[in-house]
Structure formats: structure tokens, C-alpha cells
């Protein structure tokens, strides 16, 4: 027959270990339960738990807007012309340019010709247009002398991953400026018309 004193000590040791581990991992603390029962763990209410921000999200919060425009999915197109002009990389939240939705964002970058994988670890300078609503007051663009900078961290057959490292957009009607920030993942879009 087990010694009831050792059982009690085991329960206390287990509860103390749970409290120590919970404190280190920022988990809910365990309370010591009555003799012979397991410790009780009470999780914090759902609203108290921090909600992680999506990893791949571009956010644009112009002053006076009730909520920011967010873009979580982008599509990429790399177009090479047959002459000596540079290739053009386009990123947009519209898979089909003939069916634009609002809000919309469009990046256009001139790059050297060659495989897309060469863009990894490069900082690209993009012209950006962003539309928060269908009226002209909702049109924002990057100034010609201040292109938005993108750093590409990954590029493969499936798409491109990167981050906006510096960017400001100007409202074409009011002249107001607002920063543009975020990380993105853009999958290569199917050819239009297919």
C-alpha cells in the first residue's frame, strides 16, 4: 500500500513544477488541488490572449479612414519583352487585371532579364498605386523621387516572398502622405485569358 505522505509530496512537487514551468513559458499558472487530485490549470479568457498578426500582410492606414486597407494575398507577373528593355515585375492583389477589386494595390518594378530566383536578397525600387475606394480621393501613389523599396527574401517557381523596407504613399487629391509597411507572399499568376 503506498505511503499517503509520499503521494501528497508528489502532488505538491508536481504542482510546484507546473507553476514553475508555467511561469517560464508564460502559460497559465497551476493551482494546487486538494490532496490526491491533479493540479487545476485555468487558461486566460480568449480576449486576453494576444492575437498574432498575419506574417504576410501589407497594411495601409491613411488618416481619417475608419479601418486600414490590408492585403494578405498578392499575385506576381514577370514580363520580359523581346527587345533591349528591362523585364517588369508586377505584384497586385488582383489575379486578373481586367477585374480590379477595391481596395487594390499594384507594384511595378523594372528588373534585369533572367530567372526570377536572381531577385533574392535584392532591394527593388517600385512604383506603387493603391486604391482605397472608387473615388479619386481614394487614389494613393508613390512619389517619382521616392519609390517604395522591397527586399526579396525568397523566390521560387511558386512565388515571391519579401518585405516593404521603406515606403510612403501620397494621396493624389489631398497631397497627404502615409507610410506603407508589411511583408508579402505573391504567387505567380496564371496567364490572363486562360
Give pLDDT tens digits for 89-144: 999 999 887 888 889 999 999 998 888 888 999 999 999 999 998 777 889 999 99
Mean of pLDDT values over 60-73: 86
Q: How confident is the model at residue 83 (pLDDT cuts 50, 70, 90)?
A: confident
Half-sphere exposure for 115 (CA within 13 Å, toward CB) = 7
Is the separation of the CB atoms in 67 and 40 below 8 Å?
no
The residue written with cell numbers 511595378 in the block is 108
From CA 78, how far away is CA 98, in angstroms rounded?
A: 17
How many Cβ atoms are within 10 Å of 115's Cβ, its own excluded? 9
Per-residue pLDDT reduced to its tens digit, 2-45:
454 444 443 433 444 444 434 444 444 444 555 555 555 555 45
The residue written with cell numbers 510612403 in the block is 168
Question: Is the sign of the CA dihedral 119, 121, 122, 128 positive or negative?
Answer: positive
Per-residue pLDDT reduced to its tens digit, 130-167:
999 877 788 999 999 999 999 999 999 889 999 999 99
Q: Helix (H, G, I), strand (E, B), or coil: what is residue 133?
A: coil
Amino acid at each position: 500500500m503506498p505511503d499517503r505522505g509520499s503521494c501528497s509530496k508528489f502532488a505538491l512537487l508536481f504542482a510546484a513544477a507546473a507553476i514553475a514551468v508555467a511561469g517560464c513559458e508564460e502559460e497559465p499558472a497551476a493551482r494546487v488541488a486538494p490532496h490526491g487530485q491533479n493540479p487545476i490549470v485555468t487558461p486566460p479568457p480568449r480576449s486576453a490572449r494576444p492575437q498574432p498578426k498575419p506574417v504576410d500582410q501589407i497594411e495601409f492606414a491613411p488618416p481619417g479612414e475608419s479601418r486600414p486597407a490590408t492585403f494578405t494575398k498578392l499575385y506576381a507577373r514577370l514580363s520580359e519583352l523581346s527587345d533591349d528593355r528591362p523585364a517588369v515585375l508586377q505584384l497586385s492583389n488582383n489575379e486578373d487585371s481586367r477585374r480590379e477589386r477595391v481596395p487594390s494595390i499594384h507594384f511595378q518594378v523594372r528588373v534585369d532579364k533572367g530567372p526570377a530566383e536572381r531577385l533574392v536578397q535584392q532591394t527593388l525600387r517600385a512604383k506603387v498605386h493603391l486604391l482605397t475606394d472608387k473615388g479619386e480621393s481614394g487614389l494613393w501613389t508613390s512619389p517619382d523621387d521616392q519609390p517604395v523599396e522591397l527586399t526579396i527574401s525568397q523566390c521560387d517557381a511558386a512565388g515571391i516572398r519579401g518585405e516593404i523596407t521603406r515606403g510612403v504613399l501620397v494621396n493624389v487629391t489631398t497631397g497627404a502622405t502615409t507610410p506603407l509597411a508589411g511583408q508579402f507572399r505573391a504567387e505567380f499568376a496564371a496567364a490572363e485569358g486562360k
